[in-house]
Structure 1
């Protein structure tokens, strides 16, 4: 499908997506997802609780904030919606941001796997790396692990640290605390 037509179709779909559903344009594919179930929300809530209480820098969180990720070769930008987008509170990064904001001020994105886990494990990881998002935290419910990806370069992250549910995972600056994962299982 021609790139301009695909982007136009996506933007029309995004504007008319029924409430509760999410539509994303990822790697040339339109993906529509249902609302997350309770366990998914529980994982996000636990991470946000720790970020709020323990982070060295005051952070703002947006659940399901649209991010625009440029692509090369005239291809339409990816339009991804992380489960959580976290940015330093200073400057109020989400106030006045467009529906599909650039990733410039984002400190970390968080994804909790759902029915199409490979999108979170692989495809979105590449999107976030390409956008230069410094940290990508993946809660993989199927494998019962949490992985922190860092050092974005081109299409992927140069470093990844994985821990099993119940173990701890250090988060670097600007967070600078140890994430406890026992409540995720």
Structure 2
């Protein structure tokens, strides 16, 4: 593992985990995230996965009344309860106000984020549960989940609750082929017919 682990086997497990995560070297195209105390490495996505992301980005850029910045590779730093290290997530898509990414570190806080998007792949349950709660606890206003297994799109909003029970209070799910209204600041109807 790391030098700190070798010299201090009694070291703080959260510090050891975080140090190991930051020292991790992944093959080209793979991404590593720290989700609820677990290091998760995912392979490069398939074409259909990326096609769904492209469809959402294209629709928001064309139909929204205001401009947004988009990133498909932005690391987000989210609080986690207890003594565990902060969550380090890289969503499939992040929408933020124009200029929000300027001068931000590789792992930025989520206070400027307007919407995160995930498209399910091998870790569908992680997208449906763990990441959902991470984004809600972080206060991300909107979470758009394109679930290829269920062939449905879910919009989650209004994060809230108390203590360890923070979740999204708004949940709207439509099957592929049905439209989904995105609220302000997007204020547009998302078409899902081409999702796969």
Band the TM-score falls in, shorter-chain normalisation: over 0.9
Q: Deviations over 1:28-87 (max 9, x none)?
A: 000000010100000000000001001122111000210000123232000001000101
For 2:15 and 2:82, the matched residues in 1 are separated by 13
Aligned runs of 1:22-61 on 2, under 5 Å? Answer: 22-61=31-70
Q: TM-score, normalised by structure 2?
A: 0.90
Counterpart of 2:4 in structure 1 is none
Match status 1:168 vs 2:179:
yes
Aligned runs of 1:1-185 on 2, under 5 Å? Answer: 2-13=13-24, 16-89=25-98, 92-154=99-161, 155-185=166-196
For 1:54 and 1:5, the matched residues in 2 are separated by 46
Contact 1:50 1:179 in 2 (8 A): yes
1:7 Cα deviation from its structure 2 partner: 0.6
Query: What secondary structure does 2:194 align onto?
Result: helix
1:159 Cα deviation from its structure 2 partner: 0.8
Q: TM-score, normalised by structure 1?
A: 0.95
For 2:79 and 2:72, the matched residues in 1 are separated by 21
Contact 1:56 1:173 in 2 (8 A): no
Which aligned runs of 4 or more in structure 1 are off by greater than 2 angstroms?
none
Which runs of 5 or more structure 2 residues have no equivalent in the other structure? Answer: 1-11
1:177 Cα deviation from its structure 2 partner: 0.5
Contact 1:111 1:137 in 2 (8 A): yes
Q: How many residues align?
A: 181
For 1:98 and 1:56, the matched residues in 2 are separated by 29
Contact 1:60 1:87 in 2 (8 A): yes
For 2:130 and 2:65, the matched residues in 1 are separated by 30
